[in-house]
Amino acid sequence: MRHTRERAAEKLRYWYQATPAGIQDDWSEATSGAVIPEAALERFRTAHPEVSAKGARRVEQALLQWVRVEGRRPGAHELPSFAVEELWRSMRRDEGDWEVFCDSLGTELDAGLDELTHWVPDDDSEPMRATWSEAFDDEVPLTGYPTLFIVDGEVGIADPIVDLPDPDATPSPDTFDIYEPAKTDPGPVSGPPAWEADPPPAGVEAVVDRLAPPLPSLRSDGIGAVLRERRERRRRSLLDGWWVLTQNTTMPSGLAARFTEHFPEVEAGSVALIWDAFMQWLRIEGRKYPTRHAMPARSVDALLSMLRSDPRAWNDLREGWPVSLDYLFGHPRGVWSPGDDLEPLVATWSDAFCDEPPKSRTPLLFRVDAAVGIRNGCDYTGYCGSGPEDGSGDPGMGIF
């Protein structure tokens, strides 16, 4: 069976299952039935033609997250999204639309919500950190980055011109990791943010290649050693410099405890499997850069988000690498979801499958969520190649 990207693109049939995420309470129930009138959405799109219809729906999701976060703890937050403010103002311009929205919630909104629904750009404050933390808990593991903090970049809304008090101020590491301001130029009209690869630092490939163990030589080791090595290669991951690098990379202390604190349904011992899946992600990114991959595992995305938001743990991880690999993490992808471009997911499947032949018909990155039992994890099902549907009995490559 040919495991090529072209064959996978032709044959891949997938079924993606997800359940509602985040905190289940009165506010989640209220927003589940909320109605934002179409007229308000149209006014928003008229004011911002750079935002597509699909993007406007994404802004609608972010607005409802803001209502949930602020509703649970009124007055304790700041709004990180200009798009949410604009949609909110669009709805408030028409009293009838506003009444429809409030009636659909079935609960009373705090009187101070109008004042708080005002975009605060690049603010490293306690209320903004509270917004990050509570928005993260509201939806993880839907994404490693809360919707409120990434929606502007996703939908490509154009920023207003603002005068910051200190344009030369450098944000703290925590702020940089959790929030990236919306871009001033129009972004993509749908799907995840535009992805452009930065060139890797000079010499990365050479440094990593030198980590690879030498292969047996026919002249010095004999034909038997060469044949044994080729047979062994079928039963293991690709034994190259990236494999050696990840084998020598250890999980920062305290990360497992922090992860299980956020996800109590995941056993402490299972975090090691999520770490292994993250290492697989690092290997395929390093080998095929700048191939565009998609993140198929919510558990891995959440783990990476926790790493990036903890400067101490992130620096400990980076210091163990023989060369800077920051370029591999400069463009957070977010978890792949139905409706996104399929090609990056196919590339991820193909490269992850080749990373571990033939340990499993399903690569670790695609099965880890189900294996660890994380809430609302990604569940992939399908076939690539001939399968039971055509009577052959060969299930091909499954996505479960």
pLDDT digits over 101-113, tens only? Answer: 998 988 888 888 8
Q: How far is CA 218 from the centre of its chain?
A: 45
- Helix axis angle for 298-308 and 271-288, nearest 10°, is 80
- Give residue 197's pLDDT: 61
- First-to-last C-alpha distance (Å) of the chain: 19
Cβ contacts of residue 301 below 8 Å, gap of 6+? 141, 143, 144, 295, 334, 335
Which amino acid is located at 392 in the chain?
A: S
- As a whole number of angstroms, the distance between CA 45 and CA 52 comes to 7
- Give residue 160's pLDDT: 65
- Give residue 301's pLDDT: 92
pTM: 0.49
CA distances from 18 to 103, 138, 162, 336 (A): 28, 15, 39, 12
Quickly count: other Cβ atoms within 10 Å of residue 95's Cβ: 8
pLDDT tens string 286-301: 988 888 899 999 999 9
| Three-state secondary structure call for residue 216 | coil
Short-list 32, 110, 115, CA closest to 70: 110
